[in-house]
Amino acid sequence: MNSRFIFLLLLVMAGLVVAFAPLPVQSIAPQERTFRIEAGQFAYSPSELKVNPGDTVTIQLVSTDVVHGLYVDGYDISVEADPGQTATLAFIADKPGSFRFRCNVTCGAMHPFMIGKLNVGSNNWFFRSIGLAALAIVGVFVSKRQKT
Ligand SMILES: [Cu+2]
């Protein structure tokens, strides 16, 4: 094995680490996020929320007709809003992933289909792709230098 081969092997390994290793720190500072969700038979508006891990999330649930609830899968938390009233649910989005939230108050025929989605993710891929690009540049630079 010559040194150049070993170097390229190390570079590939570094690339794999950058692409797949879990980040030791959160790439984005946690924020406070407030969402106002209108609940009516049989939908939420908006029905999809996107936050970053560590964010403090406040959901203001407003019912526009009958009593509706909002239960977040995975987080096991819920809130109930009376007709015309606003109920507040606050939590820290400390679990990354995609979670469904659903109405937990029987509100009519289509009640089981009253669902929404909470996405707790981050734009890690943005930072990882920068890391990979930097490694590629280093690789090209070094291999060119060794040829001359
Ligand atoms: Cu319901």
Beta bridge partners of 81: 68
Q: Measured between alpha carbons, how far is 9 from 3 in angstroms, rounded to an integer? A: 10
Measured CA distances, 145 to 4, 14, 113 (Å): 11, 20, 62
Q: What is the pLDDT of residue 19?
A: 78
Q: What is the pLDDT of residue 124?
A: 66
User: What's the CA-to-centroid distance between 1 and ligand 1, angstroms?
Assistant: 67
Q: Can you tell me which residue has the tokens 């690789």?
A: 139
Domain ranges of the chain: 3-25+126-147, 32-121
Q: Measured between alpha carbons, how far is 142 from 7 in angstroms, rounded to an integer? A: 9
pLDDT class for 147, splitting at 50, 70, 90? Answer: low
User: What's the CA-to-centroid distance between 113 and ligand 1, angstroms?
Assistant: 8
User: What's the CA-to-centroid distance between 81 and ligand 1, angstroms?
Assistant: 11
Q: What is the pLDDT of residue 114?
A: 97
User: What's the CA-to-centroid distance between 21 and ligand 1, angstroms?
Assistant: 41
Query: What is the tens place of the pLDDT at every residue in 2-46?
Result: 888 888 889 888 888 877 777 655 566 889 999 999 999 999 999
Q: What is the pLDDT of residue 92?
A: 97
User: What's the CA-to-centroid distance between 63 and ligand 1, angstroms?
Assistant: 11
User: What's the CA-to-centroid distance between 116 and ligand 1, angstroms?
Assistant: 12
Q: What is the pLDDT of residue 89?
A: 97
Backbone torsions φ then ψ of 55, nearest 5 degrees? -65, 145
User: What's the CA-to-centroid distance between 108 and ligand 1, angstroms?
Assistant: 6
Residue 148, pLDDT above cutoff 70: no
Residues with CB under 5 A from ligand 1 (ion): 103, 107, 111, 114
User: What's the CA-to-centroid distance between 102 and ligand 1, angstroms?
Assistant: 8
Q: What is the pLDDT of residue 4?
A: 81
3: which residues sit within 8 A by CB, 6+ positions away? none
Query: What is the tens place of the pLDDT at every residue in 55-95?
Result: 999 999 999 999 999 999 999 999 999 999 999 999 999 99
Residue 122, pLDDT above cutoff 90: no
Residue 113 C-alpha from the chain's centroid = 23
Q: What is the pLDDT of residue 125?
A: 67
Lowest mean pLDDT of 24-28, 106-110, 142-146, name the range.
24-28
Domain at 32-121, CATH homologous superfamily? Cupredoxins -  blue copper proteins (2.60.40.420)
User: What's the CA-to-centroid distance between 31 and ligand 1, angstroms?
Assistant: 30
DSSP H or E stretch at residue 40: strand 32-40
Residue 117 contacts residue 48 (beta carbons within 8 Å): yes
Backbone torsions φ then ψ of 74, nearest 5 degrees? 85, -40
